[in-house]
Structure formats: C-alpha cells, structure tokens
Amino acid sequence: MKILQVINSLATGGAEKLLLETLPIYNERGIHMDLLVLNGSNVPFMAELKALDCCTIYSLGTDSVYNPLNIFKIIPYLKQYDLIHVHLFPAQYWVALAKIISFSKVKLIFTEHSTSNRRIENNVLVRLIDKFFYRRYDKIICITPEVLAVQVNHTQMPPQKFEVIANGVNISKVRNAEALPKIFFLPENDAKIVIQVSSFQEPKDQATLIYALALLPDNVKLILIGDGIMKKDAETLVAKLGLEKRVVFLGLRMDVPQLLKMADIVVLSSKYEGLSLSSIEGMASGKPFIASNVPGLKEIVNGAGILFPAGNAKQLAEEISLLLANPNHYHSVAEACQQRASEYDIHKMIEQHIKLYNSFT
C-alpha cells in the first residue's frame, strides 16, 4: 500500500512535528509513505526531514496554502497513492475537493488535532460547509475522546467513521537527551529555569506565565521557545514588567529535548489544546510539569503533573514556588510525569495507525 501524508506546511507546530518524527519510523517499518506539503518553504522541520532522506517530499510551491488553485495541483497525486492521510485546514478541504472533481477512488483519512474549531463558531453556513467536507473522508482520527465527542456532535456522522488514536512522542529521545549547560543562556549560578515550548499564538497564552514570573523571586528565570505572530506582544509585556533580564526568547529550536533537560520546571499555559505533544515531551523530560486546567491538557496531566486555572497567574506562581521550595514534592511530581508520558509513546501510536491503514486493504 502506498500512503501519502498531506499537510499545509512544515512550519513549527504539533501536527508538523508529528510527521517529522513518524515518517522515518514508518519507512523503517517497510510502509511506503511520502509527504505532500501545500507550502514547501525550507523551514527548520523541512530541512531536518530532507536531511533524514526517509521519503519523497512533494511541494505545491511557496504560495498561500489558502489558494484554491491548490485543488488542481493536488489531483495528480491522488492517482499515485492508495490512501491519503490529511492534517489541518485548509488541506482538509482542498484534498476532498480534488477527489470530488477528479472522480478519484482513493481512500481519505483526516486527523482532527484540536478540540476547538473557530471556523464554525456562530456561523451556520460555515458549519454546514465544514460538515460537508468532514463527510468526504472515509475515516476521521480523533486524538482524544474529547475531540471525538466534539466531532460526533458537529458532523452527526456514525461512530464507525471515527477512530480515537492519541498522538505520541519519541519518549526515549527525550529521556536520553543530555541537558545543555544553563550558563549557555543565563549567567547566574543560582538560576531556576522555567520553560515553555509553544508557538506564539493567542491560545498559548504566554502572557499568564510572564505575569506569574513577575510574582516570583529574581533567581527564577523564564525561557520561551517558539515563534509566531504574538511574539512581539510577549516581548512588549516583558519590557513593561521590567523582566528583560529574567526572560530569554530562544525562537525556533531543534534541540528541545536538551533544553527541557536543562530546565527545572516545564509549563504550558494554553487556553486550550488538542493533545499537546509539548506537554508529553515536558512530562517525559524528568522535570515537574505544570499546565492550565483545560481540555487537551487536563486529560494528560491530571493525577501526574500539576493543573492550575487557565489565566490565573497568581496560582501558577504559587505552584512554581511550592515545587522549588519542597524537594520531595518536586521529585514526586517529576516521577509521576515521567510515568504518565510513557503512555503516549510514539511507537504505540504508529502501531494503531498501521492497523487502521491495513483495514483499507
């Protein structure tokens, strides 16, 4: 069976990282799997995947992923593969339309990576259009039971059209990483480092973590990894609060496991998530993990890491203080997080995907 993965681009994100991690493993397992990106800009994930030389990478160019002409560019690829596995909007729409207008018989799978769908909120027409496109897929993979509940309610499709398969992380890669020296980033010998790995977008809410930092002692520092449209807003907030010497913006990094190992505490202050790969990596690192108590995080973290009310900087600061002040509490949480992370090993996810792919033969 020949399988093609389709995604908007390999710009940094959870779904994109999942493909970077899994494509080499699938092909090692003898699964013929290639990748089509709507925008093939040579971003870090793209450069790394090319260096791995594990699959054929097709690109529709470097134009906007929202260009409807992508529909016609996709059609030739439908003829070359038995199964197309699609991730994210608008690739979800364009692939479905390409199949319709070409009368292709190729099987389609779509993975829904989020509990939230802003396209359909408060717009009946858009909701109907969205439902139409979901129904063009032979199977919808939902990454959590919560995502499944949202999709069943939205699409009104029969349960057999859905499959719950949790996303996974290369746990051994994180656990075996060697910590980078703190001195590379912060000169103070007594610095305690809190780290968050996430894109700078509104749902990630780095602002709450920055406000929490302002309530903590000066030896507590913050490292923010990622990029995005709201990075400038975060930098402005840091300056407004006078935290320039306590916050380090590292941008996009390909050595995240080593940075997690260097940190003392890992935080994710999102307003919502699908199933956060960053949270699983953080928990696998052997450090205590603190997350906002929201869908997509609470299901992973509850009973292992620490949850705080979303947007509550004071509570977040208190949880960080408790961890730093109590070594027994610190190590207990860190150990529980590692154990929980092992439930989301990437190889478990791959086995479930292969089983699903084989069901179409």
Largest CA distance in the chain: 65
Q: What is the pLDDT of residues 154-189, one digit of tens each?
A: 899 998 999 999 999 999 999 999 999 998 898 887
Number of H helices and number of E strands within the chain?
15, 13
Cα 79 from Cα 99, distance rounded (Å)? 10
Q: What is the pLDDT of residues 59-114, one digit of tens each?
A: 999 999 999 999 999 999 999 999 999 999 999 999 999 999 999 999 999 999 88
Identify the architecture of domain 2-168+345-359 in CATH.
3-Layer(aba) Sandwich (3.40)
What SS3 state is found at 208? helix
Amino acid letter for position 185: F
Q: Which residues contact 315 (CB under 8 A, 6 or more apart)?
A: 308, 309
Fold (CATH) for 171-343: Rossmann fold (3.40.50)
Report residue 112 as tokens.
């829904």
Name 221's bridge partners: 193
Question: Could you give phi then psi for residue 26, rounded to 5 degrees?
Answer: -60, -45
Q: What is the pLDDT of residues 300-350, one digit of tens each?
A: 999 999 999 999 999 999 999 999 999 999 999 999 999 999 999 999 999
What are the extents of the domains in the chain?
Answer: 2-168+345-359, 171-343
User: Given CA atoms 149, 358, 93, 61 in this order, what sign does their dihedral have?
Assistant: positive
Q: Percentage of residues in the chain with pLDDT exceeding 90? A: 86
pLDDT at 14 over 90: no
- Examine domains 2-168+345-359 and 171-343 and report if their fold is the same: yes
Prediction pTM value: 0.85
DSSP letter for each residue of 134-193: HTT-SEEEESSHHHHHHHHHHH---GGGEEE----B-HHHHHTPPPPPGGGT---TT-EE
pLDDT band at 123, cuts 50/70/90?
Answer: confident
Q: What is the mean pLDDT of residues 12-29?
A: 93
